[in-house]
């Protein structure tokens, strides 16, 4: 009897101390309010974990802890929440602020507010995340081969813009009958900057560099600009499409030189297959405006499975196609690599 009374008292006190959300269908959810972001409210329940519900389905809210509330007009205040009819009331020191529930822009706990402010005013070295890939293949015996592949990718995304840099390379040698020769040598790198205008549209600038002995290419330098659209923006699934114009200068190992004006278009996709595995894809086609009918295509596909927070295993395919290769060279070069991925976030 005493145990039952103690348990009942404990549950009752827990409910009194918890944040409480009543939905329009009569359901009641208790726990700790995490955030109202866009059209969704997230509350962390002791029994069910994070629970997300439509903000439009919220009838009333009562909070035991103080929360940050962004009101219509942009003001942000902090206090305990309660509801009166269809209005949300925020009890702050010395006064009470209120606004219609339907017009509340955001609700955040301390951690979410800190993350929001960090995105609003980040330092130059803040918000970077990315990875470093490494793969090595060796053969020993009648033939001796060594192939090394590396890749580096880093991105810094804020609410207003995104900066990304990348680098990847493959280098291989083979030794047969005591004669050593290079059998693979390619380096690709560059950067890109996207600036958002509204929630969907963005402008971009890019600069790419490429060296490829497969194509007899000493250096390809590309600089361009364009505009794009965030076609899909969901947790676990994003798709951007864009197009623009660029200038390309190509220097080949046989002293051949090209200066080109190009129009380009493409897409970038990221999709989370499950809790540990994700897929990325990028495609871009460059059409030669100086000599119409000629073009080149960059296509990249990758999949990574997370083993630890900082460690994963990746499989990557990087394809480069050119319609008018140097004499004696093939149009298509495909690099496939697999190995460890070391991830970082700041």
CB neighbour class for 11 (10 Å; exposed up to 12, middle 13-18, buried from 19): exposed
Residue 144 dihedral angles phi and psi, to the nearest 5°: -125, 115
Closest CA to 326 of 271, 260, 255: 255
Digit-coded pLDDT (tens) for 8-52: 444 444 444 589 999 999 998 999 999 998 889 999 988 788 888
12-21, 55-64, 116-125 — most confident range: 55-64
282 with 268: CB under 8 angstroms?
Answer: yes
pTM beyond 0.85 = no
Give the separation between CA 222 and CA 102, rounded to whole angstroms.
Answer: 48
Q: Averaged over 309-314, what is the pLDDT?
A: 92
Residues of the chain with pLDDT > 90, as a percent, come to 53
Domain boundaries, the chain: 2-120, 128-345
Q: Which residues contact 104 (CB under 8 A, 6 or more apart)?
A: 36, 55, 69, 70, 71, 72, 88
- The pLDDT of residue 5 is 42
| 8 A C-beta contact, residue 250 and residue 220 | yes
Q: What is the pLDDT of residue 35?
A: 93
Average pLDDT over residues 61-78: 91
| Cβ contacts of 149-158, under 8 Å, gap ≥ 24 | 149/335, 149/337, 149/339, 151/316, 151/337, 154/128, 154/129, 154/130, 155/128, 155/129, 155/130, 156/122, 156/126, 156/127, 156/128, 156/129, 157/127, 158/119, 158/120, 158/122, 158/127
Higher pLDDT: 70 or 144? It is 70
Taking only the tens place, the pLDDT of each residue in 222-265 is 999 999 999 998 878 999 999 999 999 999 988 889 999 999 99
CA dist 323 and 310 (Å) reads 40
Mean pLDDT of 134-140: 84
As a whole-number percent, the residues of the chain with pLDDT over 70 amount to: 95
Q: Which helix or strand (DSSP H or E) is residue 111 part of?
A: helix 110-120
Mean pLDDT of 298-318: 93
Q: Is residue 2 predicted with pLDDT exceeding 70?
A: no
- pLDDT value at 285 more than 90: yes
Q: How sure is the predictor about 1, in pLDDT bands with cuts at 50, 70 and 90? A: low
Does 218 have pLDDT greater than 80? yes
Q: pLDDT class for 7, splitting at 50, 70, 90?
A: very low
What is the distance between the alpha carbons of residues 13 and 2, in angstroms, rounded to a whole number?
Answer: 16
Q: Which listed CATH number (2.40.50.140, 2.40.230.20, 2.70.170.10, 1.10.3720.10) goes with 128-345?
A: 2.40.230.20
Angstrom distances, CA of residue 260 to CA of 224, 288, 319, 333: 12, 7, 21, 21
Q: Tell me the CA distances in angstroms from 99 to 15, 56, 217, 239, one per residue in order.
A: 26, 15, 63, 35
Closest by Cα among 268, 265, 262 to 242 = 265
Q: Which helix (H) or strand (E) holds 113?
A: helix 110-120
Identify the CA nearest to 239 among candidates 229, 253, 251. 229
Answer yes or no: is pLDDT of 340 > 80.
Answer: yes
pLDDT for 8:
45
**What's residue 17's pLDDT?**
54
Distance CA 58, CA 42 (A): 11
**Which of 61-65, 268-272, 334-338 bottoms out in mean pLDDT, i.e. has the lowest?**
334-338
Query: In the predicted model, what is the mean pLDDT of the chain?
Result: 88
Residues 157 and 130: beta-carbon distance below 8 Å: no
């Amino acid at each position: 009897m005493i145990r039952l009374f103690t348990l009942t008292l404990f549950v009752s006190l827990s409910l009194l101390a918890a944040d409480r959300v009543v939905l329009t269908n009569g359901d009641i959810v208790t726990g700790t309010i995490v955030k109202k972001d866009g059209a969704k409210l997230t509350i962390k329940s002791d029994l069910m974990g994070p629970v997300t519900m439509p903000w439009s389905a919220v009838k009333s809210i009562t909070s035991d802890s103080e929360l940050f509330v962004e009101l219509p007009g942009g003001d942000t205040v902090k206090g305990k929440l309660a509801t009166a009819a269809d209005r949300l009331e925020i009890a702050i020191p010395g006064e009470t602020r209120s606004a219609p529930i339907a017009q509340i822009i955001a609700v955040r706990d301390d951690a979410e507010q800190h993350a929001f402010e960090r995105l609003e005013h980040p330092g130059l070295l803040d918000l970077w995340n990315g990875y470093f890939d490494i793969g090595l293949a060796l053969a020993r015996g009648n033939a001796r081969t060594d192939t090394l592949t590396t890749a580096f990718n880093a991105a810094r995304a804020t609410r207003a813009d995104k900066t990304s840099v990348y680098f990847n390379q493959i280098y291989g040698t083979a030794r047969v009958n005591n004669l050593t020769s290079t059998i693979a040598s390619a380096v690709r790198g560059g950067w890109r900057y996207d600036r958002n205008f509204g929630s969907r549209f963005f402008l971009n600038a890019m600069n790419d560099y490429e060296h490829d002995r497969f194509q007899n290419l000493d250096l390809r330098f590309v600089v361009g600009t364009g505009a794009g659209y965030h076609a899909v923006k969901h947790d676990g699934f994003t798709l951007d499409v864009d197009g623009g114009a660029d200038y390309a200068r190509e220097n080949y190992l046989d002293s051949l030189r090209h200066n080109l004006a190009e129009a380009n278009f493409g897409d970038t996709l990221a999709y989370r297959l499950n809790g540990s595995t994700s897929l990325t894809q990028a495609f871009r086609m460059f059409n030669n405006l100086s000599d119409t009918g000629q073009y080149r295509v960059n296509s990249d596909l990758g999949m990574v499975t997370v083993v630890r927070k900082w460690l994963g295993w990746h499989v990557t395919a990087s394809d480069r196609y050119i319609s008018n290769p140097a004499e004696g060279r093939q149009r298509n070069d495909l690099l496939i690599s697999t190995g460890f991925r070391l991830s970082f976030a700041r």
